[in-house]
Chains A and B, each alone.
Chain A
């Protein structure tokens, strides 16, 4: 499978001439990269993906795949795979027929189609369900059929719009591992749309964080989490404390795990624990400082230390190097 790089060049799209869904977006996605488009609902992720697929035409800007300008190429000639959130399986066809569809459109010989469909179904662990209709499959199985159907044509690019959104948490996590593993093994360029920041951090090589049609920041999960550039990114990814700064100075932010709970009297802020969210491996505390401000602190549970009780008085300690300076 030869994968291809994708380049978006100042792409914009507005609907009905008023809503700006995608606003001057430029992106470089490397061949073989697992790339996530992350952002809140309505920020333009799906529209961006649909322009790459060819379902929507940009109002301005160009889209290149594998070095060629495909802005004006019809959907069915783009040679891409796509997995929809609703899966969009053909309800009137069996699993085999669903997966074979793309190969049949390419008019490959029957024996080759049969061989490749079988291999694709084995790849996503669906052997034995060939004769079922989509309505006779569980959500996770439908998801796998959608994946096999997209991958069997050996696309240069695989586009996924919240492909795991309809699965329950446990299955979702399992599919995250499997999808990541499959992508790595096949080396296909994967553009993955999600509004779930944990999912994006866990799976991607790089993430583009979007807000209101614009790209806020592009970077590796560690960069996005550890060095957010804007208030929006810092707030959207994980939990964060915004620190008070002089008027006119750049805002600063601090991750809760960089804040240590100390006995009262130590540290920069004294206060009382207001709520304690037990998260299994750690607990997230909301501490109300005596000066009235709220701060978050995360404490991991080494050994069998029980979470602290709300009401307990604590001091909050952090060092200045751990705070991130934001651009805006």
Chain B
């Protein structure tokens, strides 16, 4: 009797909790569903409601040389950005959390806050710098631009892990005979790896999806996918755009799943 009464508020709370979560997921996934509907709709312009199902927009996307070159360039750049951001971001986070930098509290607050420089300013600044230095628009310049925007994500996720890091674990390794270098590779690195790679996933997506920085830095015939799509949309607004978006989403999802499979982002997370 009293047990039943005690359970009522708990169950009501749980129902509200589940309902809010379901709404939230629906809200987040709805745009993706809409894009998929547009990508499969055979009308020659984007319209609603759909009148049938077709693969022609996917065909158009995968058989277009412009699209394919841009897709591969974007993937390739995103892969470079992933590696660079992990290295730079991981090392920076360690320096911020452990080092004796002047102004380290200020820097940490800066990187942890969501208020960072708008990417468009980064793009403009780099564009002007390259111009002044007479460098033109090399691909590595684009990679640097993307990396600049992506590194803070890795710093942030790594700092979050370092913040909760129990340094006694490193001390335990030291007392057992591990010198500073072995402590780093045997204990520190394996324990911060999930944070670093989680940031790496963000870095990949930030680069793959990057528009404002790329807009300033791409070469006329070496455009990344978001720039190509933007240019395409200026003249045609057909299902190929939706198909390309669908493919982009699947790419991003695959990267997350592959990294999860390879290194197990969840491995050390207690649920």
- Chain A residues with CB under 8 Å of chain B are 53-55, 74-82, 84, 86, 88-92, 101-102, 105-106, 135, 149-150, 153
User: Which A residues touch B268, using CB under 8 A?
Assistant: 91-92
CA A29 to CA B66, docked complex, whole Å: 79
Q: Give B19 Cβ to nearest chain A Cβ, in Å.
A: 32
Q: Taking each of A53, A89, A92, which has the highest tally of chain B beta carbons within 10 Å of its own beta carbon?
A: A92
On whether the beta carbons of B182 and A88 are closer than 8 Å, the reply is no
Chain A: CB-nearest residue to B173: A101
Residues 155-192 (chain B) with a chain A CB within 8 angstroms: 166, 168-169, 171-179, 182, 186-187, 190-191
Which one of B168, B169, B171, B270 contacts A75 once the chains associate, using CB atoms below 8 Å? B171
Assess whether B172 is in contact with A88, with CB atoms less than 8 Å apart: yes
Distance to closest chain B CB from A79 (angstroms): 8
Return the chain A residue nearest B169 by Cβ.
Answer: A88
| From B168, B182, B186, B270, contact of A135 by CB (8 A) | B270
Contact with A along B181-215 (1 / 0, CB 8 A): 01000110011000000000000000000000000
B 244-271 binary contact with A (CB < 8 Å = 1; else 0) = 0000000000000000000000011010
In order of increasing CB-CB distance, the 4 nearest A-B pairs are A105-B177, A102-B176, A88-B168, A88-B172
> Distance (Å) between the CB of A61 and the closest chain B CB?
21
Q: How far is the CA of A76 from the CA of B186 in the complex (A)?
A: 14
Is A101 in contact with B168, judged by CB distance below 8 angstroms? no
Measured CB to CB, the closest approach of chain A to B268, in angstroms, equals 6
Report 7 cross-chain contacts, Cβ distance below 8 Å, ordered by A residue: A88-B168, A90-B187, A105-B176, A105-B178, A105-B182, A135-B270, A149-B176
Known: A92-B190, A92-B268. A86 touches B166 (CB 8 A): yes
Q: Are A82 and B172 in contact, CB atoms less than 8 angstroms apart?
A: yes
Residue of B nearest to A133 (CB): B268
| A55 and B191 within 8 A (CB) | no
Say whether A86 contacts B177, CB under 8 Å. Answer: no
Alpha-carbon distance between A77 and B182 when the two chains are bound, in angstroms: 13
Contacts A88-B166, A88-B168, A91-B268: A78 and B173 contacting too (C-beta < 8 A)? no
Alpha-carbon distance A28/B163, docked complex (angstroms): 39
Q: Indicate which residue in A75, A92, A149 contacts B191 across the interface (CB closer than 8 Å).
A: A92
Dominant SS among interface residues on chain B: helix
Q: How far is the CA of A106 from the CA of B187 in the complex (A)?
A: 16
Query: A101: which B residues are within 8 A, CB to CB?
Result: 173, 176, 178, 186
If A91-B191, A92-B191, A135-B270 touch, whether A86 touches B168 (CB-CB below 8 Å) is yes
Which residue of chain B is the closest to A81 with respect to CB atoms?
Answer: B175
* Pairwise interchain contact A76-B191, C-beta atoms closer than 8 A: no
Contacts of A84 in B (CB 8 A): 168, 171-172
| Interchain nearest-CB distance for A126 vs B (Å) | 17
Q: Which of A77, A88, A135, A150 has the most CB of B within 10 A?
A: A88
With A and B bound together, what is the CA distance between A102 and B186 in angstroms? 12
Interchain nearest-CB distance for A12 vs B (Å): 22
> Inside 8 A of B182's CB, which chain A residues have their CB?
105
In the assembled complex, the Cα of A78 lies from the Cα of B177 at a distance in Å of 8
Q: Which residues of A contact B176 (CB under 8 A)?
A: 76, 101-102, 105, 149-150, 153
**Complex: how many Å from CA A79 to CA B182?**
16
A76 touches B177 (CB 8 A): yes
Most buried by A among B186, B191, B270: B186
In whole Å, how far is A233's beta carbon from the nearest beta carbon of chain B?
A: 30
Which residues of the other chain, B, contact A153 by a CB distance below 8 angstroms?
176-177
Q: In the complex where A90-B187, A135-B270 touch, is A76 in contact with B178 (Cβ < 8 A)? A: yes
The distance in angstroms between the C-alpha atoms of A86 and B165, with both chains bound, is 13
Q: Which residues of B are found within 8 Å of A54, using beta-carbon distances?
A: 175
Query: Complex Cα distance A150/B267, Å?
Result: 26
Distance in Å from the Cβ of B41 to the closest Cβ of chain A? 49
Are the CB atoms of A53 and B187 closer together than 8 Å? Answer: no
Quick one: given A91-B169, A92-B191, are A80 and B270 in contact (CB under 8 Å)? no
Q: How far is the CA of A135 from the CA of B182 in the complex (A)?
A: 23
Chain B residues whose CB sits within 8 angstroms of the CB of A150 once the complex forms: 176
Among the interface residues A54, A74, A89, A90, which one has the most CB atoms of the partner chain B within 10 A?
A: A90
Q: How many angstroms between the C-alpha atoms of A79 and B169 in the bound complex?
A: 17
| Max chain A Cβ within 10 angstroms of own Cβ: one of B172, B173, B186 | B172
| Bound: A102/B270 CA distance, A | 26
A238 CA / B225 CA spacing, docked (Å): 76
Measured CB to CB, the closest approach of chain A to B28, in angstroms, equals 30
Given A90-B187, A91-B191, A135-B270, decide whether A102 and B168 contact each other with a Cβ distance below 8 A.
no
State whether B169 touches A80 (Cβ < 8 A): no
- Contact call B175/A78, Cβ cutoff below 8 A: yes
Nearest CB in chain B to that of A152: its residue? B176
- Which A-chain residue is minimally distant from B194 (CB atoms)? A92
Residues of B within 8 A of A74 (CB): 179
B173 cross-chain contacts in A, Cβ below 8 A:
90, 101
Chain B residue at minimum C-beta to C-beta distance from A98: B172
Could you tell me if A76 and B270 are in contact, using CB atoms closer than 8 angstroms? no
- B191 neighbours in A (Cβ, 8 Å): 91-92
Known A-B contacts A84-B168, A90-B169, A105-B182; A76 and B175 likewise in contact (beta carbons under 8 Å)? yes
B179 near A76 with CB under 8 A, answer yes
Q: Which of A90, A92, A135 contacts B172 (CB 8 A)?
A: A90
- The answer for the CA separation of A53 and B270 in the assembled complex, in Å, is 31
